Amino acid sequence: MSTASGTGENDRDATGGVERPSTAWPLFEVFVRGKRGLNHVHVGSLHAADEEMALHNARNLYTRRNEGVSIWVVRAADITASSPDEKDPFFAPNGDKVYRHPTFYEIPDDVPHI
Amino acid sequence: MSTEEATITDEERLHQRFESTVEHDQRVEPRDWMPEGYRKTLVRQIAQHAHSEIIGMQPEGNWLTRAPSLRRKAILLAKVQDEAGHGLYLYSAAETLGVERSDLTEKLVARRQKYSSIFNYPALTFADIGVIGWLVDGAAIVNQVPLCRCSYGPYARAMIRICKEESFHQRQGYELLLTMMHGSEQQRRDVQDAVDRWWWPSLMMFGPPDGDSPNTQQSMAWGIKRHTNDQLRQKFVDMTVPQAEVLGVTLPDSGLSYNAEREHYEFSEPDWEEFHRVLAGEGPCNTQRVERRRAAHEGGSWVREAAAAHAAKQAERGRAAV
């Protein structure tokens, strides 16, 4: 896991960057559910003073044409993301578990519906 | 192996991974390692693009209170709001590269970063609103569609969103012009006059000729750019000439003719001296545009401060309640 928080979309080390003045609005990541039955999907980010304003700004910015039925906003600083530099060890356990995939199993051609 | 050698090898390995990502037409994502030049080029280009959307609200915003009907006013308002939205999508993409939106705004109002020079021309009549939609947004679409496949993921995704919305901008402009061309003699004159003024600046939107565009090759190698300036300019002319014929306007270029052999339109060179003059800050509206942006930014600072103070107070109350 990455020590610096962030979604990977807007990842900056909160302590390493230039210190922000206290009046600067924090960054929020925005997720929109396009329609019922779909997951929320990350669409971008915005600045807002607090969660409520972030939600209103997200509505105006990312759903001007009925692009969504539900919005999530979350402070970018509150997201913990995996780091691409750890890509190999982090996702490696999947590599040798081919038996998790249906194609691992050999079934005769004449067995129907499987 | 010394530590220094190990570091060099690491860097080389990262570089190879980056090159391979770009070469296989995959996307580079924010947390990936990338060459400093790639990052700088993207920040410059995305910031310039974002600034263009934000400054681009001004020539049209100027007509909001004087739109000839409620229908045109609602359309124009939606379009100007879209431009603000496009600017924010792009600032959001730029911020994934480790810059702050507030810094970019500071650089814009201090004239340390540029925006498209097209917005330094004034919108003199309501016909200009139609021509801006048709030609300026039309040229923007030709520029932007290939950017949907840009190698940098967040920029490409912002461009997909923008291109979807841009089509409305161009069509409302063309429809407005068609309406005016079916109107009075004065209205037809206004349309032709606006076309005469915006045609050449629109061609300049694609940037200097290929021979005079030193960054193009590197940008193409990095998969940021997909076509050269001249290729895109030709594409725009080929698309636009038949549209002008349907509209019944004359494009102000006596050198314009169809070359059946090349299957392209021939056209004259824009006045590149004018392009460089406007870029250097000597266009008709440069000072006005930047000063207006500065005034809006500085005038809004008390709102930003008040909202931050309110949020801090609410958060404090929330903690006290727990």
pLDDT digits (tens, 9 = 90+) for B146-177: 999 999 999 999 999 999 999 899 999 999 99
pTM of the model: 0.89
From B254's Cα to the closest Cα of chain A, the distance in A is: 42
Across the interface, of B31, B100, B305, the residue whose CB is closest to A11 is B31
Q: Could you tell me whether strands A40-47 and A27-33 are parallel, antiparallel, or unpaired per DSSP bridges?
A: antiparallel
In this predicted structure, the answer to whether residue A14 has a pLDDT above a threshold of 70 is no
Q: Tell me the pLDDT tens digit for each residue of A51-77.
A: 999 999 999 999 999 899 999 999 999
Question: B88, B106, B297: which to substitute to probe chain A, counting the most A Cβ within 10 Å?
Answer: B88
**Residue A99: per-residue pLDDT:** 86
Domains and CATH numbers, chain A: 3-81 (3.10.20.520)
Instruction: Take residue B46 and report the two structure tokens written for it.
Output: 């995305």
Rounded CA-CA distance B293/B276 in Å is 22
B315 lies in some domain:
yes
From B31's Cα to the closest Cα of chain A, the distance in A is: 6
B291 lies in some domain:
yes
User: How would you write chain B as a 3-class SS string?
Assistant: CCHHHHHHHHHHHHHHHHHHHHHCCCCECCCCCCCHHHHHHHHHHHHHHHHHHHHCHHHHHCCHHHCCCHHHHHHHHHHHHHHHHHHHHHHHHHHCCCCCHHHHHHHHHCCCCCCCHHHHCCCCCHHHHHHHHHHHHHHHHHHHHHHHHCCEHHHHHHHHHHHHHHHHHHHHHHHHHHHHHCCCHHHHHHHHHHHHHHHHHHHHCCCCCHHHCCCHHHHHHCCCCCCCHHHHHHHHHHHHHHHHHHHCCCCCCCCCEEECCCCEEECCCCCHHHHHHHHHHHCCCHHHHHHHHHHHHHHCHHHHHHHHHHHHHHHHHHHHHC
**Residue B2: per-residue pLDDT:** 53
**Residue A16: per-residue pLDDT:** 39
From B92's Cα to the closest Cα of chain A, the distance in A is: 6
Query: Residue A114 — very low, low, confident or very high, per pLDDT cuts 50/70/90?
Result: confident
B90 lies in some domain:
yes
- Chain A residues touching B100 at Cβ < 8 A: 18, 20, 24
In this predicted structure, the answer to whether residue A22 has a pLDDT above a threshold of 70 is no
In this predicted structure, the answer to whether residue A10 has a pLDDT above a threshold of 60 is no
Across the interface, of B33, B154, B315, the residue whose CB is closest to A9 is B154
Q: For B315, which residue in chain A has the nearest alpha carbon?
A: A50
Chain A interface residues facing chain B, Cβ-Cβ under 8 Å? 2, 8-12, 17-18, 20, 22-25, 27, 43-47, 49-50, 53, 60-61, 64-65, 81, 83-85
Q: Tell me the pLDDT tens digit for each residue of B190-217.
A: 999 999 999 999 999 999 999 998 889 9
**Residue A18: per-residue pLDDT:** 44
User: How would you write chain A as a 3-class SS string?
Assistant: CCCCCCCCCCCCCCCCCCCCCCCCCCEEEEEEECCCCCCEEEEEEEECCCHHHHHHHHHHHHCCCCCCCEEEEEEHHHCCCCCHHHHHHHHHHHCCCHHHCHHHCCCCCCCCCC
Rounded CA-CA distance B205/B117 in Å is 7
- Average of per-residue pLDDT across B269-275: 96
Instruction: Take residue A37 and report the two structure tokens written for it.
Output: 């039955």
Q: Which has the minimum average pLDDT: A18-32, B116-130, B256-270, B305-319?
A: A18-32
- Average of per-residue pLDDT across B104-109: 95
Q: Tell me the pLDDT tens digit for each residue of A43-52.
A: 999 999 999 9
Query: Residue B224 — very low, low, confident or very high, per pLDDT cuts 50/70/90?
Result: very high
Residue B127 domain boundaries: 11-321
CB contact under 8 A, B88 and A61: yes
- Percent of chain B topping pLDDT 70: 97
**What is the domain-level CATH number for residue B274?**
1.20.1260.10
Tell me whether B20 touches chain A (CB under 8 Å): no
B2 lies in some domain:
no
CB contact under 8 A, A49 and B305: no
* Structure ipTM over 0.90, yes or no: no
- Average of per-residue pLDDT across B237-262: 97
- Chain A residues touching B304 at Cβ < 8 A: 23, 25, 49
Q: Tell me the pLDDT tens digit for each residue of B61-102.
A: 999 999 999 999 999 999 999 999 999 999 999 999 999 999
- Chain A residues touching B105 at Cβ < 8 A: none
In this predicted structure, the answer to whether residue A12 has a pLDDT above a threshold of 60 is no
Q: For B85, which residue in chain A has the nearest alpha carbon?
A: A61
Instruction: Take residue B83 and report the two structure tokens written for it.
Output: 């431009």
Tell me which residue of B128, B50, B95 sits closest to B285, measured CA to CA: B128
Instruction: Take residue B56 and report the two structure tokens written for it.
Output: 């681009």
B238 lies in some domain:
yes
**Residue A113: per-residue pLDDT:** 87
Query: Residue A13 — very low, low, confident or very high, per pLDDT cuts 50/70/90?
Result: very low
**Residue B307: per-residue pLDDT:** 94
- Tell me the residues of chain B between 253 and 312 that have a Cβ less than 8 Å away from chain A: 304-305, 307-312
B145 lies in some domain:
yes
- Chain B residues touching A78 at Cβ < 8 A: none
The answer to whether the beta carbons of residues B200 and B236 sit under 8 Å apart is: no
CB contact under 8 A, A12 and B88: no
- Average of per-residue pLDDT across A16-38: 78
Q: Count of domains in chain B?
A: 1
